[in-house]
């Protein structure tokens, strides 16, 4: 373990290895250079801070509804895993919109109803599936409106 200096404060730094596809690393390195980072490490730290902030925002949102946007490789095994995750969830998937955006990639929007924990669990399960490239959750609550029910 080494120490990283920030003024008078010293922060312990932990080294770790990461395996990623070459094309993803190339894109990352291009952005690192474009933004003028000294190296990958600071860019990775910034990316991790953003990831942590995103997680904090998502988990602090209360709501009984959500949309989950995902981009993934169009593969039958992954599509089956997506369906299983939805059917096994405590949250209820009200609708899905599935779009083929390229020959190999799909974009899907799930509209979800449930408690915050159930929605988070479903989003985390789907986001963790191998082949999911992007996953973004937006939770929201609506006030109860007694006597008003909208159905199609």
Per-residue pLDDT reduced to its tens digit, 104-142: 999 999 999 998 889 999 999 999 999 999 999 988 877
62-140 belongs to which homologous superfamily?
ACT-like. Chain A, domain 2 (3.30.70.1150)
Q: How far apart are CA 135 and CA 124, in angstroms?
A: 9
Nearest to 67 by CA among 109, 108, 98: 109
Q: How far apart are CA 20 and CA 22, in angstroms?
A: 6
Sorted by where each begins, the domain ranges of the chain are 21-60, 62-140
For the cut 50, the answer to whether the pLDDT of residue 71 exceeds it is yes
For the cut 50, the answer to whether the pLDDT of residue 1 exceeds it is no
Helix (H) or strand (E) holding 27: helix 22-35
Q: Which two tokens stand for residue 79?
A: 């599509």
Task: Check if the beta carbon of residue 54 is closer than 8 Å to that of residue 137.
Answer: no
């Amino acid at each position: 373990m080494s120490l990283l200096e920030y003024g008078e404060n010293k922060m312990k730094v932990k080294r770790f290895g990461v395996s990623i596809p070459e094309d993803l690393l190339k894109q990352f390195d291009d952005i690192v250079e474009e933004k003028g980072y000294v190296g990958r490490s600071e860019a990775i730290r910034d990316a991790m801070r953003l990831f942590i902030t995103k997680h904090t925002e998502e988990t602090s949102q209360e709501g009984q509804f959500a949309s989950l946007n995902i981009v993934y490789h169009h593969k039958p095994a992954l599509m089956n895993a997506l369906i299983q995750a939805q059917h096994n969830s405590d949250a209820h998937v009200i609708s899905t919109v599935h779009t083929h955006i390229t020959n190999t990639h799909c974009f899907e929007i799930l509209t979800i109803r449930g408690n915050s924990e159930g929605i988070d669990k479903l989003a985390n399960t789907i986001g963790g599936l191998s082949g999911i490239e992007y996953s973004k959750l937006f939770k929201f609550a609506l006030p109860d409106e007694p006597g008003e029910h909208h159905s199609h």
